[in-house]
Structure 1
Amino acid sequence: MKISKRDIGIVDQRNVSLFRLTNNHGSYIELINYGATLVSAVVPDKFGELENVVLGFPSLDGYLNDCCYIGSTIGRYANRIGNASLKIDKKKYQLDRNDNINTNHGGFSGFHSKIFDWRIEKDSIIFYCKSPDGEGGLPGNLQFSVTYSWNDNQELSIKYWAETDKPTIAYFTNHAYFNLSALKESALEQSLAIRSSNILENTEDFIPTGKIIPTGKLKFWNNRIMDKISWQANGFKGINSYYIFDENQRDKVQCCLVSGLSSRKLDVFTSYPGIQLYTGDYLDTREIGMHGLSYKPFDGICLECQHYPDSTNHSHFPSIILRPEDRYEEFITYKFSLDTN
């Protein structure tokens, strides 16, 4: 594994660096320590052409001006919390209202805009930080790290670790937008399979009602994404739903995305109990991306492996409370290959 590093700017008097991890096939991923962000994943298509299959920006300015969490590590918590409030051991905490009356993706102090410390270990980059007690309204000094690894099997492994000195909530994900055609077609043209029979019912502003309902028409089993979304007067209405995995075996593919145009395939493995599928309805960037244009709705889709959103406000959802005696350890693996069907 070849790992290179170059500085790309300074934020708050701290260096921001770009890391490239290249395997023996010439495929590579790129990361920056601003937001512990995945910048690119460059893998071959059926003709052997290497192209970037995640949305990203060619300069730091793109990330500083981004409001779509492109490629970012999401923390201290992923997804939305209703009414920007929660209880831990009967004590109420008020969080940032950064999504109307709700809070989303860690609020105003989310990890997506943090400058992370880093170190290199063999085939990995480890980004780490401390989130102080009270940040974003949450209790506890949180120690956090995310490890990105890349190998010759075209597997991108992301491992999350955290500890706290007070009971708090913690769950993390990556917010990469995938397009396996490298933007030669809309991401909606690609086919998706999710090993799930149930989803969380949402309100209009994407807050879980507490009901677990059948996937119904939103079930994906090698279906073109376009065929599952609806047309309304103001345009397509995409999907922003949490899918509960039917079974959670770490060695089993939980989700699979395929581009018929490029024949690239993405298999997703994870320790998390479900995945948030977001089809990028609100994707809109002012900056020009790596693909030579600004990004627009449905250019990429997010496959955000994570715990149930808004869990602390629904007692029958699995707990996301992290306690001082616990250690948070979860993983997501994105495996790239070619579809041979």
Structure 2
Amino acid sequence: MAVNTTTRLWGQHNGHNVYLFKIENESGAYVELTNYGAAIVSVVVPDRLQHFENVVVGFPDLNGYLTDSCYIGSTIGRYANRISRVKFQLEGETFHLDANEGKNSNHAGKSGFNYRVFTAEAFDNGVMMTLTSPDGDGGYPGKLELMVIYTWSNDNELLINYKATTDKATIANFTNHAYFNLSAFKSKIYNHKLTLLSDSIVDLHEDYTPSGAIIPAGQKAFNNNKLGDKFNIDENHVEGLNLFYIINRGAGENGLIYAALLTDEASGRALRVYTDYPGVFLYTGDYLSSTTPIHTGQGAKPFDALCLECQHYPDSINHPDFPQAVLRAGDVYNQSILYKFGTI
């Protein structure tokens, strides 16, 4: 049996139809997506005993996404992560953005693509979602045309491909903000084990903006370590991790570099992450919350799940020594993320 996609109307937002797409493979594993925020709603995959359960934070109805403030499962754009001091210069012109995190812009502020209804078209094993962002949208220059293509395979591989063009020079950095819990939320993420194929991180200030330095990962490196062992934990507070890891250039799959391995020994599930982005931002869900129940029937709580956000360097436009994420007229943005679900 081939992979099959079904579509149903899920609701409306600002006069636009919002759909729920289900892409199921021959084993019965499936993903659900919505064109609101081009978001991942669920990923239902087997454990070592072939029990099929959902392993991402998501909402059972559209209202959860309309009230969400944690970017749950969403496509992030125009620029993922922080832009310091809500401004940048490009080709001699200064552009001012939305401030939504103190004096900085995070995930493009209130103009973020997580709030947008994409045009969507289903095909046999996936969904193509498109969005036009006008010149000046959120302060960013250029009319941007974005295409997000999701495909799901019989090998339980979720591939996300981002393609974009612009009519004038701009900056662009798209990612997905899925929160993963491979235990299917039977426990928090403290006992998940993580390997990151990275020896270096971007040094960050307390507000998570880069200092400009690249430093050894040191004690923040992950080589099959339990997440909880890397947290600062005292009686009243748990401090997780918000760090950009620079991926080692090494072996990969389908032209993508192997970036991360996440495992849960209790269920036997594993997630391998491949990408052609230069780094992955590890966010351990310190501030995860929701005002409406997620699939578990409960509200989301800190450390229920973690994000592995493959992306360009944060605030790169304000750090000339960083690899840049400038998209110019005539060029095509083309980046991919592959989530490969399996067992250990």
**Is the CA contact 2:71–2:177 (under 8 Å) kept in the aligned structure 1?**
yes
1:297 aligns with 2:299: no
Instruction: List per-residue Cα deviations over 1:185-208 (Å, max 9, x = no partner).
Output: 111210000000000111111000
Q: How far, CA to CA, are the matches of 1:232 and 1:319 in structure 2?
A: 39
Q: Pairwise mapping of residues 317-332 of structure 1 onto structure 2 (< 5 A)?
A: 317-332=322-337
1:191 to 176, 190, 193: 193
Shift of 1:218: 0.5
Shift of 1:249: 4.8
The DSSP-based 3-state class of the residue aligned with 1:247 is coil
What letter corresponds to residue 190 of structure 1 in structure 2?
H
Equivalent residue for 2:27?
25
The DSSP-based 3-state class of the residue aligned with 1:185 is coil
**Is the CA contact 1:249–1:271 (under 8 Å) kept in the aligned structure 2?**
no
**Is the CA contact 1:85–1:95 (under 8 Å) kept in the aligned structure 2?**
yes
Please report the TM-score for the alignment, with normalisation by the length of structure 1.
Answer: 0.98
Equivalent residue for 1:259?
264
What letter corresponds to residue 108 of structure 1 in structure 2?
K
1:274 aligns with 2:279: yes
What letter corresponds to residue 272 of structure 1 in structure 2?
Y
What letter corresponds to residue 102 of structure 1 in structure 2?
N
1:99 to 71, 77, 101: 101
Q: Pairwise mapping of residues 196-235 of structure 1 onto structure 2 (< 5 A)?
A: 196-232=198-234, 234-235=236-237
Q: Pairwise mapping of residues 1-341 of structure 1 onto structure 2 (< 5 A)?
A: 1-232=3-234, 234-247=236-249, 249-251=251-253, 252-339=257-344
What letter corresponds to residue 239 of structure 2 in structure 1?
K
Aligned residues: 339
Q: How far, CA to CA, are the matches of 1:312 and 1:248 in structure 2?
A: 26
What letter corresponds to residue 184 of structure 2 in structure 1?
A
What letter corresponds to residue 298 of structure 2 in structure 1?
L
Shift of 1:120: 1.8
Instruction: List per-residue Cα deviations over 1:31-75 (Å, max 9, x = no partner).
Output: 000000000000001111100000000011100000000000000
- In structure 1, list runs of 5 or more residues that go unmatched: none
Please report the TM-score for the alignment, with normalisation by the length of structure 2.
Answer: 0.97
- In structure 2, list runs of 5 or more residues that go unmatched: none
Q: How far, CA to CA, are the matches of 2:83 and 2:268 in structure 1?
A: 38
Instruction: List per-residue Cα deviations over 1:271-293 (Å, max 9, x = no partner).
Output: 10110000000011111000121
Q: How far, CA to CA, are the matches of 2:21 and 2:123 in structure 1?
A: 13
